[in-house]
């Protein structure tokens, strides 16, 4: 019986988990991507984008199941088949923090139903990271800041070199480590051909910045080649871009105020002669500018001589040899920030115990004999009450149909031919089986016809011919017929209410039986804990959860029975009212036709 209940429960359970990518990995968790207005708020679709996944103790409870260096971690696409490229920027087991970059195939604008899978828990796995593969070929420099390294390292396939560092690397920044700028200098990235500005291809610089106080025309980014330069800077708190050529300089409007002492995503985008400034993924200033090809070094945070230095912090510096789309910049802004809500880590699942079933399996496995006895009793009660409701509903439907058919014929009768519908046969109160499976050629299931037939029989007992006299029934005879019919109506009411008591038993008894099972289960759980001396939530929770299963079973019995009883009782009440009204009208018609 236990096995049958389990099978039935799982068949009815919605949302069964999808297939497992590889059974060598024991655990997985879903990582949901939200591009709807509640998340990244994208209106277009972005493909092959790097997405940051933050794991911490609040959203991931299995840190101690992970292997050193996250060598057992794998990321799989939503189809649960396609491996995705990823790299680990930082993993801190002691503080339970991990920052992982994953190349996601697609983030669809306006949708919040897309997800990827993170698999873990394989002791035999070797590292599967591919840092260069996370970023596409147009990412020519991506700088994470590792506090254990002497110099920041470009993680792209181009491996561009930081040639000079006049700033500190902070171990705690927006995304793991970051660049700490005290106003004394910045960082220089060697100007290799891969990071040259080529206007016909486009160009993008982006970074996270946290300005500490008002800035004095400070450089966030600058690339110069002789007298030509391209820069992104902040003056006081206004963000702007500038291009300098032999013909002069062009600046974007200084209409983008940065929030001081707060992290913000900034970007400079060169696209078809348009120079745009983006703040948190939104274009805030733009100007048409004839940007030339520039082949010099890239300066971050200050001029080469240390002037125009930023005071604050920077993180996640990226340079692309193409103009990045607004969708890509929005994803970076909404995903990488501390308050970003584009990525949500779901509940972990274990192999053979997938999400949506694991809790119920645990509950069933911890249900004791006393609980199963109560559940079996409740299952029998549930089946019985459901059968009563089903057959009673069909019975009342048949009764209603025969009542309507009889009344349609009865209302056409004249007082002189009032017995025309009566048939010389034995008539008794309708039963459920007769109403469902018996004949229906002469109103057999109609209580109104039964009352009519009994009234005609009473009349025949008192007269021999309907057309000899008009005044042949005394008042006492009329009252006797009325009393007989009212008594018969009571029998018909009893027939309509037959087996309804089983529903009242289910409504009132189901919850009490369930409560009995719960109390017994809790008592046994605490008795076992007292005997073993093992007092912890892991020892208590399974038993208590299993004990509550009987209360749930009792409510499953009672709630449908309650609804069904009220619905059926309302239909029976209406039929009883029809019987009383018909009895009064029928007796009055007999008295009018045959009374003295």
What's the pLDDT tens digit per position in 477-511?
A: 888 888 889 888 988 898 888 889 999 999 999 99
Instruction: Say whether pLDDT at 240 is over 90.
Output: yes
**Better pLDDT: 150 or 426:** 150
| Secondary structure string (H, E, C) spanning 308-353 | CCCEEEEEEEEEECCCCCHHHHHHHHHHHCCCCCCEEECCCEECCE
Q: How many domains does the chain have?
A: 3
How many Cα atoms sit within 13 Å of 523 on the Cβ side? Answer: 8
Q: Span 363-390, mean pLDDT?
A: 88
Distance CA(406)–CA(443), nearest Å, equals: 6
Instruction: Say whether pLDDT at 474 is over 70.
Output: yes
The answer to the question of residue 17 being in a domain is no
Q: What pLDDT does residue 355 have?
A: 46
Q: What pLDDT does residue 352 have?
A: 62
Q: What pLDDT does residue 3 have?
A: 42
The answer to the question of residue 276 being in a domain is yes
Q: 290 CB contacts (<8 Å, ≥6 apart)?
A: 243, 245, 247, 250, 273
Nearest to 101 by CA among 122, 131, 72: 131
The answer to the question of residue 52 being in a domain is yes
Residue 117, domain extent: 25-136+342-355
Residues 217 and 348 both lie in one domain? no
Nearest to 310 by CA among 427, 182, 482, 412: 182
Instruction: Say whether pLDDT at 7 is over 70.
Output: no
Structural tokens at position 84: 């995705």
CA-based torsion, 364, 365, 370, 376: positive or negative: positive
The answer to the question of residue 19 being in a domain is no
Q: What pLDDT does residue 369 have?
A: 84
Instruction: Say whether pLDDT at 319 is over 90.
Output: yes
Residues 211 and 346 both lie in one domain? no
Instruction: Say whether pLDDT at 16 is over 90.
Output: no
Structural tokens at position 247: 């013909």
Q: What pLDDT does residue 430 have?
A: 57
- Length of the chain equals 596
Residues 431 and 464 both lie in one domain? yes
**Better pLDDT: 591 or 470:** 591
Residues 175-222: tens digit of each pLDDT: 999 999 999 999 999 999 999 999 999 999 999 999 999 999 999 999
**Better pLDDT: 222 or 348:** 222
Distance CA(392)–CA(499), nearest Å, equals: 8
The answer to the question of residue 42 being in a domain is yes
Residues 36-79: tens digit of each pLDDT: 998 889 999 999 999 999 999 889 988 988 998 899 999 999 99
Residues 557 and 416 both lie in one domain? yes
Residues 442 and 398 both lie in one domain? yes
Q: What pLDDT does residue 12 have?
A: 40
Q: What pLDDT does residue 536 have?
A: 56
333-344 burial: b if 16+ Cβ within 10 Å, else e: bbbbbeebebbe
Domain boundary among 355, 379, 404: 355
Residues 132 and 143 both lie in one domain? no
CA-based torsion, 64, 68, 69, 71: positive or negative: negative
Most confident of 288-297, 366-375, 523-532: 288-297
The answer to the question of residue 60 being in a domain is yes
Residues 137-146: tens digit of each pLDDT: 999 999 999 9
Q: Say which CATH number the domain at 226 has.
A: 2.60.120.200
């Amino acid at each position: 019986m236990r096995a049958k209940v389990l099978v039935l429960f799982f068949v009815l359970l919605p949302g069964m988990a999808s297939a497992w990518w590889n059974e060598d990995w024991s655990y997985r968790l879903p990582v949901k991507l939200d591009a709807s207005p509640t998340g990244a708020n994208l209106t277009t679709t972005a493909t092959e984008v790097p997405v940051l996944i933050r794991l911490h103790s609040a959203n991931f409870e299995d840190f101690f199941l992970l292997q050193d260096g996250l060598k057992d971690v794998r990321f799989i696409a939503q189809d649960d088949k396609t491996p995705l490229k990823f790299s680990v920027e930082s993993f801190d087991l002691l503080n339970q923090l991990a920052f992982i970059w994953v190349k996601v195939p697609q983030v669809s604008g306006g949708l919040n139903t897309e997800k990827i899978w993170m698999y873990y828990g394989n002791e035999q796995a070797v590292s599967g990271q591919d840092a260069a593969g996370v970023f596409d070929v147009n990412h020519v420099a991506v700088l994470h800041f590792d506090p254990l390294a002497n110099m920041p390292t470009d993680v792209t396939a181009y491996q561009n070199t930081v040639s000079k560092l006049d700033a500190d690397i902070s171990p705690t920044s927006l995304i793991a480590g970051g660049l700490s700028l005290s106003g004394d200098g910045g960082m220089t990235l060697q100007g290799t051909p891969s990071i040259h500005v080529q206007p016909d291809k486009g160009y993008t610089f982006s970074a996270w910045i946290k300005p500490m106080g008002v800035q004095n025309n400070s450089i966030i980014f600058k690339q110069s080649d002789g007298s030509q330069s391209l820069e992104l800077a902040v003056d006081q708190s206004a963000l702007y871009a500038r291009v300098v050529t032999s013909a002069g300089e062009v600046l974007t409007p200084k209409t983008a105020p940065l929030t001081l002492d707060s992290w913000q995503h900034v970007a400079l985008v060169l696209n078809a002669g348009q120079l745009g400034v983006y703040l948190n993924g939104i274009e805030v200033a733009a100007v048409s500018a004839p940007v030339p090809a520039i082949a010099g070094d890239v300066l971050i945070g200050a001029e080469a001589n240390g002037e125009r230095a930023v005071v604050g912090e920077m993180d996640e510096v990226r340079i692309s040899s193409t103009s990045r789309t607004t969708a890509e910049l929005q994803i970076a802004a909404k995903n990488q920030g501390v308050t970003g809500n584009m990525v949500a880590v779901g509940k972990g699942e274990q192999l053979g115990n997938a999400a949506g079933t694991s809790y119920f399996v645990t509950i069933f496995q911890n249900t004791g004999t006393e609980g199963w006895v109560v559940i079996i009793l409740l299952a029998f009660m549930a089946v019985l009450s459901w059968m009563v409701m089903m057959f009673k509903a069909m019975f009342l439907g048949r009764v209603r149909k025969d009542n309507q058919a009889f009344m349609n014929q009865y209302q056409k009768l004249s007082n002189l031919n009032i017995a025309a519908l009566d048939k010389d046969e034995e008539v008794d109160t309708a039963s459920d089986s007769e109403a469902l499976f018996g004949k229906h050629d002469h109103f057999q299931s109609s209580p109104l016809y039964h009352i009519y037939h009994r009234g005609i029989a009473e009349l025949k007992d008192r007269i021999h011919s309907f057309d000899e006299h008009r005044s042949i029934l005394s008042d006492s005879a009329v009252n006797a017929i009325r009393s007989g019919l009212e008594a018969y109506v009571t029998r018909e009411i009893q027939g309509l209410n037959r087996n309804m008591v089983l529903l009242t038993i289910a409504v009132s008894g189901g919850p009490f039986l369930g409560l009995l099972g719960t109390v017994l289960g809790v008592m046994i759980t605490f008795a076992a804990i007292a005997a073993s001396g093992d007092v912890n939530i892991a020892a208590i929770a399974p038993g208590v959860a299993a004990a509550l299963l009987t209360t749930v079973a009792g409510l499953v019995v009672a709630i449908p029975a309650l609804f069904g009883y009220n619905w059926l009782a309302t239909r029976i009440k209406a039929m009883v009212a029809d019987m009383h009204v018909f009895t009064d009208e029928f007796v009055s018609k007999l008295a009018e036709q045959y009374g003295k």
